[in-house]
Amino acid sequence: MATLGKETPPHPPLIGNHSKVIRHTGNFNWHDIPLEAYKETTDTWKGVTRRELSGKRGESQHFHVRYFEIAPGGHSTLERHEHEHVVIPLRGRGEAQFGSYIYRVGFGDVVYVAPNDPHQFRNAGEADEPFGFLCMVNAKRDAPQAADGTGICYICE
């Protein structure tokens, strides 16, 4: 680090609507950012963790940026909602399902999930490392609904 006239700039407070840098400390961990469970435990997801990177600590942009990891053999809930997802994998490989299609995805691919499209993210079967990805969503958004097979078939017709 360097500043104009100083050696080390101050570490800005984590909370508040001021400019800040959240440091990646290596291996997909970030300074002061806790590891969270994906959401309340249900039997519809497995092995998923979340880190809230921007948008929930006083920042005012109209979107949230999160980093998710799915452990080998794990998967997110098969769900649908009105709000969109933009997902960019950074670590490992995984599967992105929307509608009846499954895409193998890896570093740098950009997955857009359109409104109300049932979708699921999974760690590819042969993987031995987490499948990690950035996931951006609108700050104001509706709650997900579980999508069962019927829902999937509905949109596939």
Residue of 70, 135, 137, 152 with catalytic role = 135
156 is catalytic: no
**Does the footprint of a second copy cover residue 78 (CB under 8 A)?**
no
Which residues does 153 contact at the CB level (< 8 Å), separation at least 6?
none
Say if residues 144 and 80 touch (Cβ distance below 8 Å). yes
- Alpha carbons within 13 A on the beta-carbon side of 35: 8
**Binder of a second copy out of 46, 50, 83, 93 (CB under 8 A):** 83
Nearer to a second copy, 55 or 92 (CB): 55
Helix (H, G, I), strand (E, B) or coil at 149: helix
Site mask, a second copy, residues 84-123, x = CB under 8 A?
x-x-x-x----xx-xxxxxxxxxxxxxxxxxx-x-x----
**Cα maximum dimension of the chain:** 64
The token pair that represents 123 in the structure block: 């760690």
User: Which residues are designated catalytic?
Assistant: 135
Instruction: Give the binding site for a second copy (CB under 8 A).
Output: 1-5, 9-10, 17-24, 28, 30, 53-55, 59-63, 65, 83-84, 86, 88, 90, 95-96, 98-115, 117, 119, 134, 136-140
